[in-house]
Copies of this chain bind each other. A is one copy, B any other.
Amino acid sequence: MSEGTKGLSRRDTFMAAAVAAAGTALPGAALAAGKAPSRKVDVVVIGAGFAGLTAARELVRAGRSVVVLEADGRVGGRTKAAMLAGERIDIGGQWVGPSQTRLLELAKAYGVTPVPQYTEGDNLIDIGGRKARYRGEVPGLAPADLEVFGAAVARLEAEAGQITAPRPWLAKDAKVWDALTVETWLQANVPSDPARELIRTLIRAVMSSEAVDVSYLCFLGYIASAGGLGPLISTRGGAQDSLFPGSVWQIAAKIADELGGAVVLDAPVSRIAQDERGVTVSSAKGAWRTQRVIVTVPPAMAARIAYDPPLPAQRDGLTQRMPLGSVIKVVLAYARPFWREQGLSGMVISDRTDFGPWFDRGTPLTRGGALVGFFDGAPARRWADRPATERRAKVIEDIALYFGDEARRPVDYVEEVWTRAPWQRGGYVSVPGPGVLTGFGPALIEPVGRIHWAGTETAEAWAGYIDGAIRSGERAAREVAMNA
């Protein structure tokens, strides 16, 4: 072994091989003129979010040559970093919970350590016209409403317990549950206005959709996928337990660095053409010839690729019926975390404001104070196409309603209108309405010839989360390995 390669681990050698296999770019004009692609890889992965990067990493570690084609000019998919008051923060997915073991392990492998979400002090709740301060995870509703809420949660958990993620359509009562919206279920089963309104607000917060948009079966499936409603909605011990100083996005960036030239940015894929011997994938950066393709982008975005031969009716039909939720994420920096001085945790759940919920967003890196919050569902739809200055004014007005005039003087402000992001067009996840999972569900995962489907929507656990994206990428890599 020469001095030059002495320091390279076995994995590094695989990486170097994969990068070499990805080859060099053909000029687009040559492709347009109909020449066959000269670049060959074992697997083409479409999308450089956590699902695609994980799939590529697994395949490269197994000795396959891979190229990851990313439409956007960056990696990370529905995670993304932004600079706020000198700190790199997440403007996409950000949290991690204790049962999200695949994300925790991946973070550890790349030397990135989460810190707990700040939860000291009182949360504020303002639902159904009643304001309250409360501590911990039990929302501050009036006792009678809280009792109804508790019974609803118990029933949701019990029914979700009859579902095996990621195949809710196999549940005994799937057809009944998939015939109604969550809103219909609320009206029939939750006899308290504030309890119903709280659940609507939670649906908005966890699925960035309205209760009228969501199939009740889909909601149960989402709960099952998270291992319960508690894990889904809780901060401490739940999906919002911890976050990453310097961003969770940096993990995606580190995987991409490791994959090196195998990740091709600004390469939206226009066409996937299968024939008897393989697949040709055409992108804005030219074409690749391959044996297998893993499509990791959400179904509604995968629909925007042309397929030859055309997709089966069931798969195409699914892609017409899996809209992404509507979300705008905002992070604000303040000179001080002044709410902490008022004994507040920074967390506010309100049905009175368009902006919200919001949370303290401090990390050990944060010099002053920071808040993170969302326009979700209908408010996201109302605000997405308006000028940024109007959105900012609304955010600050809403925060000041609970936190006072000090909230009017942020020192920095960043936002991401995910429904306007050209290659995501929504977030956090695809949310089917009634009839879709029972009518088209199997097409979410079933391969089409040499095309395999990944992405957080397909995960066997934590669908809709970064952890689910990672799991789906690993599963797709295994599928490809079995079929090669």
Contacts and interface: CB of A to CB of B under 8 A. Distances in A.
A310 to B, nearest CB: 4
Interface in A164-207: 175, 178-181, 183-184, 187
B313 A317 contact: no
Interface in A281-326: 300, 303-304, 306, 310, 312-314, 316-317, 320-324, 326
Contact of A420 (B211, B310, B439): B310
> Which of A32, A187, A433 is packed against the most chain B CB atoms within 10 Å?
A433
Contacts of A183: 179-180, 434
B314 A324 contact: no
Interface in A429-468: 433-436, 438-440
A385 interface: yes
Contacts of A212: 175, 178-179, 434-435, 438-439
A311 to B, nearest CB: 9
Contacts of A417: 313
A228 interface: no
A352 B323 CA distance: 33
A313 B326 contact: yes
A312 B438 CA distance: 31
A119 to B, nearest CB: 32
Interface residues on chain A, size class: 35 or more
Given A32-B28, A378-B439, A439-B210, A323 B317 contact: yes
A425 interface: yes
Contacts of A184: 179-181, 184
A234 interface: no
A422 to B, nearest CB: 4
A324 B306 CA distance: 18
A57 to B, nearest CB: 30
A419 B315 CA distance: 10
A426 interface: yes
A419 B316 contact: yes
Nearest to A298: B320
A434 B213 contact: yes
A29 interface: yes
A263 to B, nearest CB: 22
A392 interface: no
A322 B380 CA distance: 19
Interface string A412-429: 000001011010011000
Which 4 residue pairs spanning A and B have beta carbons closest together?
A32-B32, A313-B384, A320-B323, A313-B419
Interface of A: 28-29, 32-33, 175, 178-181, 183-184, 187, 209-213, 268, 270, 300, 303-304, 306, 310, 312-314, 316-317, 320-324, 326, 378, 380-381, 384-385, 417, 419-420, 422, 425-426, 433-436, 438-440
26 contacts: A28-B32, A29-B29, A29-B33, A175-B212, A179-B181, A180-B183, A180-B184, A183-B434, A210-B439, A212-B434, A212-B438, A213-B433, A213-B435, A213-B436, A300-B320, A310-B422, A312-B385, A313-B326, A313-B385, A317-B326, A320-B322, A320-B324, A320-B425, A433-B433, A433-B435, A434-B434
